[in-house]
Chains A and B, each alone.
Chain A
């Protein structure tokens, strides 16, 4: 699936302090019935964002006019639970390009990387600083520098390095996906099958 190339992003952040945000909250199962990848952003965080009548809940952060931007700042263990890739699609479709947290669930992290959504792991103390910076001033800018693997709070200049494997880094920077890589290996895969039987 094509996605925008990622190099460096400068943006404000949207703070979602809840921990253990599971993929059922990111996109509830009843919205997984589509057979095409379209419009999932409308139902991102559906039951936290809207009431039963479909009216926005004022207290939820996506409905708070103070906060906007392409970076979601989330509490630890983000994306646990179901393997639904629709969670990554919904975040991307809504407009997020980065999720920052102190800890991600494995399958969500893979799904995000496969869809041009960069998961950035920062130490718990630094995550606290990011939340504090947004709390102090919602217009605080953050810089996510993928080539340098560096996350920076622009105003204070505080920064922290983040990990990503070299292969995925290159995929994100070039907007490539894994299928092309695997297709180029068909001969090797056939050889492997012959050896195994």
Chain B
């Protein structure tokens, strides 16, 4: 029987299988940030241990950092202390750190790929659930807890039960105005936030092949929102072209050797998956969430489900969700007033996302009642946006480009959506209070966010797109 891509990479990294227990999995790259690493370093020091492989570790502060005035000391004391702890720990243990104002600083899941650190066939972990992003390159990448961060710092290995395999195939062609974000929200609305639990997903099919690397990262990033440990896409010419020439990409002979290996990374024809789903690209429309988990998604032009359309066992949670959101069963979401728009995060904070937003708002003006935060995923994204003239175009339309960080996605810094306000966000979670206590989040693509920013109400972006 053939092997899946996931099996091939996982199995080649197993140092030992513990009897009746998990695998000891070797980790090629360990990414760390300021929030989930300090306790791991503290415990390591209490045991008198050094970091085993500092050269395979990369650090950046992203969760806590302000998105304005990054040249100044961080105002909030606890955040500043956590960011300083990361610097101190990295210095002490010889770990490369791309701190605030470094030209490579940014959200950990944005800088890994853009620096060429993320490569096909690797195992990659980080104390952050959206580590699944790196699966876009054909890597086995997943989020871990702080005890596991400590394990990797101490031994470059992790004890982990092997997940099952799932394949989601999407064939066909996406319509205009439909993005990778819409694919992800569509899938999660179909399989729920627990449908992927216990599994590693491989995305396949012609609609996936046609995605850019940025689109693939958005899709793999959201794998965790279906409960899956990770998601991955077999590497192909799109992948190789993206990696080539990046800072840490193999060069010369090493490139040729790596490429030859990467080309072998795909599921065998006769590989068997533990579960399979198939969807058609033509069935997917621009999506938005109306509730308090990412599985509560509908088309932007659709309506909140009627109570009768919700399974009996789910109704209590459904109604509780709607109460929080201030919505009624059966009502349309298009036309609802929007207070905030947030463009950014490890889900949709890449240059392509800013280009999509800018293309839609070009020649138009921001709606007066909406506050818009556009937060690039990294310094390099910010730089590209300025060099390409996107920043200028956005300013002309009434928007401002902020500085990179996780920002309002989880509102650990000052970028908080006020209580009761509605925010269309390109981020990944619409949980209660995620973007600030009492904040009401509607997840959507950068195009749908742009349409909301221009119209001031939830709007199907296709209405504003030229030629459609």
Contacts and interface: CB of A to CB of B under 8 A. Distances in A.
Q: Do chains A and B stick together as partners?
A: yes
A168 to B, nearest CB: 7
A34 to B, nearest CB: 8
A77 B85 contact: no
A181 B159 contact: yes
A19 B127 CA distance: 25
Contacts of B325: none
B257 to A, nearest CB: 12
Interface of A: 1, 17-20, 22, 24-25, 28-30, 32-37, 47, 52, 75-77, 80-86, 88, 103, 105-107, 110-111, 114-115, 165-168, 177-179, 181-183, 185-186, 188-189, 192-193, 196
A28 B194 contact: no
Contact of B154 (A17, A34, A167, A183): A183
B147 A177 contact: yes
Given A33-B78, A82-B129, A182-B155, A77 B193 contact: yes
Given A24-B432, A29-B410, A105 B194 contact: yes
A11 to B, nearest CB: 25
B227 interface: yes
Contacts of A35: 38-39, 42, 81-82, 85
B379 interface: no
Contact of B26 (A22, A179, A189): A189
Contact of B159 (A22, A75, A178): A178
A145 B127 CA distance: 32
Contacts of B293: 20, 22, 80
Contacts of A110: 144-145, 148, 160
5 closest A-B pairs (Cβ-Cβ)? Answer: A167-B21, A166-B20, A85-B145, A33-B78, A111-B145
A20 B193 contact: yes
A111 B429 contact: no
A182 B154 contact: yes
A192 B157 CA distance: 11
Nearest to A75: B317
A3 to B, nearest CB: 10
B221 interface: no
Interface string B391-429: 000000000000000000011100000010000000001
B307 interface: no
B429 A24 contact: yes
Nearest to A28: B433
B380 interface: no
A19 B148 contact: no
Given A24-B429, A165-B21, A189-B26, A1 B43 contact: yes
Contacts of A186: 52, 155
A83 B410 contact: no
B36 interface: yes
A22 B431 contact: yes
Contacts of B212: none
B64 interface: yes
Given A35-B82, A107-B145, A186-B155, A25 B432 contact: yes
A186 B437 CA distance: 45
Nearest to B89: A35
Given A106-B227, A185-B15, A179 B154 contact: yes
21 contacts: A20-B317, A22-B429, A24-B410, A33-B81, A34-B38, A36-B39, A47-B432, A80-B194, A80-B227, A80-B293, A81-B429, A83-B128, A84-B35, A106-B227, A165-B22, A167-B159, A181-B18, A183-B155, A185-B155, A186-B52, A189-B157
Contacts of B227: 77, 80, 105-106
Contacts of B19: 166-167
B290 to A, nearest CB: 15
A81 B129 contact: yes
Contacts of B144: 83, 107, 110
Interface in B313-343: 314, 316-317, 320
Contacts of B157: 182, 185, 189
Contact of B16 (A36, A75, A105, A185): A185
B54 interface: no
Contacts of B20: 165-167
Contacts of A83: 36, 127-129, 143-145
Interface string B119-148: 000000001110000000000000111111
Task: Name the residue in A37, A85, A106, A181 with the highest tally of chain B Cβ atoms < 10 Å from its Cβ.
Answer: A106
Contact of A106 (B49, B127, B159, B229): B229
A82 B15 CA distance: 28
A165 B156 CA distance: 23
Nearest to A165: B21
B131 to A, nearest CB: 8
Contact of A47 (B38, B39, B433): B433
Contacts of B85: 35
B197 A29 contact: no
Given A33-B82, A83-B128, A167-B18, A24 B431 contact: yes
Contact of A167 (B15, B22, B410): B22
Interface hub of A30, A75, A80, A188 (most chain B Cβ within 10 A): A80
| Most-contacted residue by chain B among A32, A35, A188, A196 (CB, 10 A) | A35
B192 to A, nearest CB: 8
B145 A18 contact: no
A33 B412 contact: yes
B429 A88 contact: no
Contact of A103 (B39, B154, B197): B197
A100 B411 CA distance: 30
A32 B151 contact: no
Contacts of A166: 19-21
B423 to A, nearest CB: 15
Interface string B74-93: 00001101100100000000
Interface centre among B49, B79, B437 (most CB of A within 10 A): B437
Contacts of A20: 193-194, 293, 317
